[in-house]
Structure 1
Amino acid sequence: MKLSQTLYARAEKIWPRYLCHPFVTQMADGTLPPEKFRYYMLQDYLYLKDYVKIFAAIIQKADDFEQIRFLSGELADTIGETFRTHIPYMKRLGITEEEIHSTRPHMDNNAYTHYMLWEAQTGDVLTGLVTLLNCSWSYAYVAEKIVERCPDALRDKRYGSWFAGYVSESYRRTNQMLIDRIDALSGFIDEKTAEHLCEIFEKCCLFDLRFWDMVYAMGGN
């Protein structure tokens, strides 16, 4: 069994909870209060700044140019997508440069990215990529499942482009490249290592669930 299949078996216990989370369901039916989405976009922007730093930490562990090429490409794609999509989206929501620069990450946001960075710094390339996988894979999963259930979600004037981005062919392809890379690197790992990677992935799944909770509550309890 491929490592990605084992990881997915862990995710199947948690990801369905994303689909019934009020933040996600209210995005799907267009009833999510816009101030909650603005808060999400700001916190996600801060998350992405740490996300690219995790790629940088993984690059330090790479021992051949092909690995460096792949990782550098993923890092550059993430930065490019931030400037192409995320920042313009925030501007359409009326988020100012001052808000962007003055907002600080919520402690749950910090805890999540610091955990990923620590695992990436103490592990190898495979470990680092597994820490990043849930964020990439679960967003594709959420968008796909929601659009299947509620095709009108794509046409919502406020949140439709969010779903469209994560069901796009380019996003699907990038996510699949990450999965394929993880499977290629994990071909000869032992059972103990596989279990450790599954534990990391499961923790990241739970951190993402806390992230949804945090942004829906806008940082409150």
Structure 2
Amino acid sequence: MDLFNTLKQQCGEEWQAYINHSFPARLAEGSLPRSAFRHYLIQDYIFLKHFSRAWALVVYKADSISTMQSAVAVLDGLLNHEMAMHVEYCGQWGISREQIEQAQEARANMAYTRYVLDAGLSGDLLDLMTALAPCVLGYAEIGRNCADKAGGDIEHHPFGKWIETYSGDEFQALATNVQQLMNDLYAQEAQKERFNRLSRIFTDATKLEQAFWDMGLEVGGA
């Protein structure tokens, strides 16, 4: 069984509300208020710090060396590459490092990141990967959708770099690897009761992703 796609079907309404949210939809068409995107960028930097902690927890929770090595590679990419790129990208939008470091964490950000960390701390590796999945696999799907909607002229698109990042081969490969890891872990202990628990985690995390988009639009006055 493909666990991710089964979980998506189980919370179809919530997943569609997340994937087709007006924040990424308006981002794709270029009509998203610039203030909303700047606020999102600042909060996303804070999110990435907690996201890195979650991937460090993957290393701790993993049983196999290969899974630990994969998680370390993701963690290295987050801490030593993506966060630096994020700071640079924020600078292009007139946001200084000082601003993002001193920004207050939004409630939607706090709720989502703590939920993911709690799922990992209180559960096992599969619980943690399930809570992480709406972010990694959701952004991969959103990135592809945005690229399709934006068309070929990404270079001159106001949010082109963001779209290129999440529709690009590197992030898409990461999403594929996460999906495969979930399937491998689930295959080791596939039980109906286990699926019901994972379905609740996945649905909750999807709803919190949707609330994160809501948070971006609230400040932008959209």
Relative to structure 1, the CA distance from residue 20 to residue 127 in structure 2 (aligned partners, 3 Å threshold; closer, same or farther) is: closer
Give 2:85's aligned residue: 85
Percent identity (aligned): 26
Q: What secondary structure sits across from 2:95 in the alignment?
A: coil
Structure 2 gap segments, 5+ residues each:
none
CA contact (8 A) 2:33 2:220 kept: no
Q: Deviations over 1:173-221 (max 9, x none)?
A: 111001101101110321111111111011110000000000111298x
Q: In the alignment, which residue of structure 1 is the partner of 2:29?
A: 29
Q: Which runs of 4+ in 1 moved over 6 A?
A: none
Any idea what SS the aligned residue of 2:104 has?
A: coil
Distance 1:54 1:19, change over 3 A: closer
- Alignment partners' CA distance in 2, 1:16 and 1:127: 22
Are residues 151 and 11 of structure 1, via their aligned partners in 2, closer, same or farther at CA, if it must alter by over 3 Å?
farther
* Residues 116, 98 of structure 1: alpha-carbon distance in 2 compared, 3 angstrom cutoff: same
Tell me the secondary structure at the aligned position of residue 217 of structure 1: helix
CA distance 1:92–1:62, change in 2 (3 Å): same
Change (3 A) 1:111 1:19: closer
Deviation of the 1:37 alpha carbon: 0.7
Q: Which residue of 2 aligns with 1:101?
A: 101
Question: Does the 8 Å CA contact 2:36/2:220 hold for their aligned counterparts?
Answer: no
**Distance in 1, Cα, partners of 2:21 & 2:164:** 19
Query: What is residue 172 of structure 1 aligned with on the other side?
Result: 172
CA 1:191 to 1:57, structure 2 compared with 1: closer, same or farther past 3 Å? same
Distance in 1 (CA, whole Å) between partners of 2:114 and 2:220 is 18
Q: Is the 8 A contact 1:137 1:175 kept in 2?
A: yes
**Number of residue pairs the alignment of both structures matches:** 221
C-alpha RMSD of matched pairs (Å): 2.0
TM-score, L = length of structure 2 = 0.91
Residue identity matched to 2:203: E
Aligned: 1:72 with 2:106: no
For 2:218, give the aligned amino acid: A
Matched, 1:141 2:141: yes
Structure 1, unpaired ranges of 5+: none
Report the alpha carbon displacement of residue 66 of structure 1 after superposing the two structures with TM: 2.1
Deviation at 1:152, TM superposition (A): 5.2
Conservation of the 8 A alpha-carbon contact between 1:58 and 1:121: no
Asked if 1:205 is matched to 2:189, the reply is no
Question: Greater shift after overlay, 69-78 or 2-11?
Answer: 2-11
Which piece of structure 1 moves more, 198-207 or 73-82? Answer: 73-82
